Structure 1
């Protein structure tokens, strides 16, 4: 079998990305799609009230909101992002996310 670069998702099939992770009360659910030295792709489902506290990343992090709404803090800047919107968080700048309501996102980290 040849090496697969993407995991935890069916190949050669049209899928609704938003349906690949489910909400769970009081939890942040994640599904890693790819992870290596230069790229990480992870799907997340945040229950309302959950958060990722402020931290910085070694590469640029792009968040694509698949469902719901999140408050994203980058440095001192707060951004409200909703379904269909994308936000890029620059490398080395502290950032965090708060689930205003339930929300799902695709996180792509490029290093």
Structure 2
């Protein structure tokens, strides 16, 4: 696999593509283009991403466990099978009260001349 991205033309089980790290966070970039990135994250219980913002929209899809997202100060509880949009330039954070896995889709604006 080049650049740690996924092999083309194969059906892969998402949750098996990244493993939790004890007391940590593991991530794996599945795809990266000028239009955005697709990154898989695995959080150990109690781990998270501190508040930050990004210049483009991001979508979180919860695959396993539970995630507590804080978006512009508002708590959003997300469970497997749910998707949450985090708007561009809005502060957000991620907390994992349980072991959890999520797929993060970052959508960059492509400027057309």
Unaligned runs of 5+ in 1: none
Give the equivalent residue in structure 2 for 1:90.
87
The Cα of 1:40 is off from its aligned counterpart by: 1.2
Q: Give the number of aligned pairs.
A: 107
TM-score, normalising length: structure 2: 0.88
Q: What is the correspondence of 1:26-65 to structure 2 with a 5 Å cutoff?
A: 26-65=23-62
Give the equivalent residue in structure 2 for 1:8.
5
> Which shows bigger deviation, 93-102 or 30-39?
30-39
Q: Does residue 86 of structure 2 align to residue 80 of structure 1?
A: no
Give the equivalent residue in structure 1 for 2:100.
103
> Which shows bigger deviation, 62-71 or 35-44?
35-44
Structure with bigger strand share is 1
Unaligned runs of 5+ in 2: 109-113
The Cα offsets for residues 59-102 of structure 1, whole Å up to 9 and x where unpaired, read as: 00100001110000001210110001000000000000001100
Distance 1:61 1:51 in 2: 16
CA RMSD, 1 decimal: 1.6
TM-score, normalising length: structure 1: 0.90
Q: 3-state SS of the aligned residue for 2:97?
A: strand
Distance 1:50 1:7 in 2: 23
